[in-house]
């Protein structure tokens, strides 16, 4: 029978509570925060295995809200296919010895934080080029997902560039993150990092992640979104820099 270490369980539960809270406020950020903090405590592949079920549950819920899923699937299928292809191409990167996964995770966090703090956005694509660029963005996202377990780059800036409405954007993020999580789960299962024990641990993290998400949603109307986003991005910048230093 699986019995987790109590001290580790409490620390990891707090990580998922905090990560779920960030997702509740911003509509994204659970894998970014969770992998950033878990990367300080364990190998990246182990942290990614813990992430699978909480990320899948919260993203499925987010993806199901709204009436735009069919239209988004029709528009974004090249990106979703690219994500799966990229994860397949990069399978095994996360378990590569030598700290490279930690370095890539840190660089991803730094790049994401700097882009967020600078307010940078990709220019909208031309309609005739959107499908091809969408597939390329998906492949790059899949490669970074395979290496780090974080699937925000470059998917999120790309989705922002498409000019989606608020509810469409939230559902598109849920769709992208769900596909990325499923592709990552298949890759982790193939490398045996996702097994019966890690799945049991991941299942235990569902409650703190969902509780954090619920708390974050309740805090959303009470906090300044811009102020919170600035603090969040600044924290990610510091955390990413620390991980780059460790993984260099």
29 lies in a domain?
A: yes
157 lies in a domain?
A: yes
Q: Are 219 and 20 in contact (CB under 8 A)?
A: no
Please, what's the b/e burial string for 169-179 (b: 16 or more CB within 10 A of its CB; e: otherwise)? bbbbbbbbbbb
Consecutive 10-residue averages of pLDDT for the chain (248 residues):
68 93 83 85 87 93 87 97 96 72 81 85 90 97 90 89 87 94 93 88 93 86 73 83 80
1 lies in a domain?
A: no
115 lies in a domain?
A: yes
> How far apart are alpha carbons 233 and 187 in whole angstroms?
29
pTM of the predicted model, to two decimals?
Answer: 0.85
Domain with 227, as residue range(s), is 6-247
> How far apart are alpha carbons 51 and 70 in whole angstroms?
27
Question: What's the token pair of residue 142?
Answer: 């899949």
> How far apart are alpha carbons 222 and 144 in whole angstroms?
34
- Total domains in the chain come to 1
138 lies in a domain?
A: yes
> How far apart are alpha carbons 153 and 117 in whole angstroms?
15
**What is the model's pLDDT at position 3?**
45
**At which residue do the structure tokens 């974080």 appear?**
150
């Amino acid at each position: 029978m699986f019995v987790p270490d109590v001290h580790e369980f409490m620390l990891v539960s707090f990580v998922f509570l905090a990560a779920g809270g960030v997702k509740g406020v911003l509509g994204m950020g659970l894998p970014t925060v969770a992998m950033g903090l878990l990367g300080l405590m364990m190998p990246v592949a182990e942290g990614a295995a813990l992430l699978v079920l909480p990320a899948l549950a919260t993203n499925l819920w987010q993806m199901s809200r709204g009436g735009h899923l069919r239209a988004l699937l029709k528009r974004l299928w090249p990106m979703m296919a690219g994500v799966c292809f990229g994860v397949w191409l990069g399978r095994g990167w996360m378990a590569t010895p030598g700290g490279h996964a930690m370095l890539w995770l840190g660089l991803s966090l730094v790049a994401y934080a700097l882009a967020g703090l600078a307010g940078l956005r990709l220019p909208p694509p031309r309609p005739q080029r959107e499908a091809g660029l969408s597939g390329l963005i998906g492949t790059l996202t899949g490669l970074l997902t395979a290496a780090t377990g974080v699937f925000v780059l470059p998917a999120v800036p790309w989705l922002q560039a498409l000019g989606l409405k608020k509810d469409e954007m939230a559902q598109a993020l849920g769709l992208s993150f769900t596909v990325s999580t499923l592709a990552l789960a298949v890759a982790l299962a193939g490398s045996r990092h996702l097994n019966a024990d890690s799945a049991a641990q991941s299942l235990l993290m569902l409650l703190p992640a969902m509780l954090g998400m619920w708390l974050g949603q309740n805090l959303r109307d009470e906090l300044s979104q811009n102020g919170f986003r600035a603090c969040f991005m600044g924290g990610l910048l510091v955390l990413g820099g620390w991980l780059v230093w460790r993984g260099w």
